[in-house]
Amino acid sequence: MTRELAESTLDRFRVRLEDEHDRLTEILEELEEDLETSRMTETAAERSPDPGNAEAGSMKFEYEKERSLGENTRDLLRKVERAQERMDEGKYGICERCGKAIPVARLEAIPYATFCVEDAAKR
């Protein structure tokens, strides 16, 4: 049998998820701007007489780093959105795999958690 979270606890997590959603969305917007700047800089470097120089390599590294950060941020954003959906469905705080309650301490640490510790470890 699973326990239901108190409405005040749900409200607290709802606010945390909304704040996290806003923060991640802002980060993605900034990363997109940085990526566009990197693309433009890389294009200019490719037209330079020596595109294999250290500066061009550094720009490519920065571009890949920004791309990787964007992918990780999008992944976290999807997890936050999934947790928000589960909250709307009345399933927040319940493990998607086993159906047991996710401990509040885990939700405090990872408010977008959709698996209990045991099932998360199996993934």
Mean pLDDT of the 49-75 span: 76
Task: State the distance between the two ends of the chain, measured CA to CA, in whole angstroms.
Answer: 23
Write the CA distances from 19 to 40, 53, 60, 122, integer angstroms.
Answer: 32, 42, 32, 29
Each residue's pLDDT tens digit, 92-117: 999 999 999 999 999 999 999 999 99
Q: Which has the closest alpha carbon to 63: 88, 79, 40?
A: 40
Give the domain 7-122 fold.
Four Helix Bundle (Hemerythrin (Met), subunit A) (1.20.120)
pTM score, two decimals?
A: 0.78
pLDDT at 44: 54
Residue 56's pLDDT band, with cuts at 50, 70 and 90, is low
Tell me the domain boundaries of the chain.
Answer: 7-122
